[in-house]
């Protein structure tokens, strides 16, 4: 499969909007092996009262548990939002082949936290020998609608 894949991203947007319900700040994530979606999740930080329950982390946990393996070699991560430093670190450490993200995450509180961390997923990715390919923003306007933002 070639990345980015519009059909996959549109399916992710639809899944996220449906699963998020009233949780307007939800982010969605799919993990793909070849052309098959093997893990799906949305962020659940408020519902679970777990600050690490971002969509990417939730999807990776599901897949790792079902496979009994934490490596994402040969997998692609699709997210409606650019992975934060925590998620980017987990993706890089898992050695995923790549990430396709919907929007940059530069609205409101995201700006404040990313600036205060003074760290980006580009810096995290550059620290590894194996680089994770980053593609985005992709279908940004559609992804922003899930959050209630306009481009």
Active site residues: 56
98-103 vs 133-135, strand pairing mode: parallel
CB 78 within 8 A of CB 9: yes
Sheet holding 98-103, edge to edge: 36-42, 28-33, 75-81, 98-103, 133-135
CA-based torsion, 134, 77, 48, 103: positive or negative = positive
CB 138 within 8 A of CB 101: yes
The phi and psi torsions of 71 (rounded to 5 degrees) equal -80, 140
33-53 burial by CB neighbour count: b if 16+ within 10 A, else e? Answer: beeeeebbbbbbbeeeeeeeb
């Amino acid at each position: 499969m070639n990345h980015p894949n519009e059909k996959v991203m549109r399916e992710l947007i639809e899944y996220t909007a449906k699963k998020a319900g009233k949780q307007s700040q939800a982010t969605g994530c799919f993990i793909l092996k070849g052309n098959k979606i093997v893990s799906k999740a949305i962020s659940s930080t408020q519902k679970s009262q777990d600050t690490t329950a971002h969509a990417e982390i939730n999807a990776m946990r599901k897949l790792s548990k079902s496979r009994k393996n934490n490596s994402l070699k040969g997998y692609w991560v699709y997210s409606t939002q650019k992975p934060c430093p925590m998620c980017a670190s987990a993706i890089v450490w898992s050695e995923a082949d790549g990430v396709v993200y919907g929007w940059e995450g530069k609205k409101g509180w995201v700006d404040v936290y990313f600036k205060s961390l003074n760290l980006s997923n580009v810096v995290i990715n550059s620290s590894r020998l194996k680089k994770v390919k980053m593609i985005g923003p992709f279908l940004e306007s559609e992804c922003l609608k899930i959050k209630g933002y306009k481009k």
